[in-house]
Amino acid sequence: MALLEIKNLIVAYGAIRALHGISFHVNEGEIVTLIGANGAGKSTTLRTISGLQSAESGQISYNNQDITRAEASAIVQRGLIHVPEGRRIFAPLTVRENLEMGAFTRKNKQEVADSMEHVFHLFPRLKERMEQTGGTLSGGEQQMLAVARALMAKPRLLLMDEPSMGLAPILVEEIFDIIQEINKQGVTILLVEQNAHMALSVANRGYVIEIGAIELEGEAHDLAENPRVRTAYLGGG
C-alpha cells in the first residue's frame, strides 16, 4: 500500500520552475531513493512534501489524506518527519535538549524517555555527549543527532536529505547501517542522496530525477545495473 503518493507535482521559485509535474510513490515499509545531480530538484521535492515549500499544482497524499496545502507543523503531527540537508541541529542546545525538541509533539513523558533510550542504543556516542552542546560535536556526530532528533518524533515516514554529505567513508557506512536498522524497526524511508552507490545498495526502489523531471524508475538493483545510471551516477561505463 502506498503510504506516500505524489501526483503531477509542480513547484516554482518565482519564474524558475524547479519540478515539472513529477509523480512517484513510496509503499509502507520501503526504503525509496531519489538520485540525481545537484540542482535536479531532489531537496525541493522533500521540502514540498514536508510543507516547507509550496506547490504550484499537483497532489501530495500521505496515509490516504491530501496534505498538499497542510502546514509543516500539522504534517509533523501526522508522523511525517524531515531530516534536512546540512543537519540543522540547534547548535547552542545540548544533545539532550536537541532530542527533547524532537519530541515536542508528544505528551507521554514515559514514552519520550523510552524513545531517548532507544536512540541512545542506536547512537551510543550521543549518550556519551548528552550534556555537550550540538555545535561542539563533529560533523558525523551532528548527522547522528539530526537523525536521532527526528526519531524522537516517532516517525512513520522519514524523509532524509543527503545524510552522508561531508562525512568520512567509515561514517558513511555507519549512517547507512543505521538507516537500514531504522527501516527494519518499521519506519518507511524516502532517501535523497548524492552517493548513488550507497543509496541503491540499501533501497528497495529508486527514481532518477533530472532537471525537475523523473527520467527513470525501478527496483534499486536494476537501476544500479542500468548503463545510463552507471555512467552518470556510479562512475562506471
User: pLDDT for 106-147, tens place per residue?
Assistant: 888 898 888 999 999 999 999 999 999 998 998 888 988 999
Query: How buried is 122 (Cβ within 10 angstroms: 0-12 exposed, 13-18 middle, 19+ buried)?
Result: middle
101/115 Cα distance (integer angstroms):
13
Reading the block at residue 83, the C-alpha cell is: 531530516
4/26 Cα distance (integer angstroms):
5
Q: Which amino acid is at 172?
A: V
CA atoms within 13 A on the CB side of 140: 14
pLDDT value of residue 229: 93
pLDDT value of residue 20: 95
Nearest to 84 by CA among 53, 130, 106: 53
210/196 Cα distance (integer angstroms):
14
Domains of the chain (ranges; CATH) run 2-79+155-233 (3.40.50.300), 89-153 (no CATH)
Contact (CB, 8 A) for 91 and 135: yes
Nearest to 233 by CA among 76, 23, 38: 38
37/16 Cα distance (integer angstroms):
18
pLDDT value of residue 236: 60
Reading the block at residue 73, the C-alpha cell is: 507543523
| E strand or H helix that includes residue 59 | strand 57-62
pLDDT value of residue 2: 94
| E strand or H helix that includes residue 45 | helix 42-49
Residues of the chain with pLDDT under 70: 236-237
pLDDT value of residue 86: 72
pLDDT value of residue 194: 86
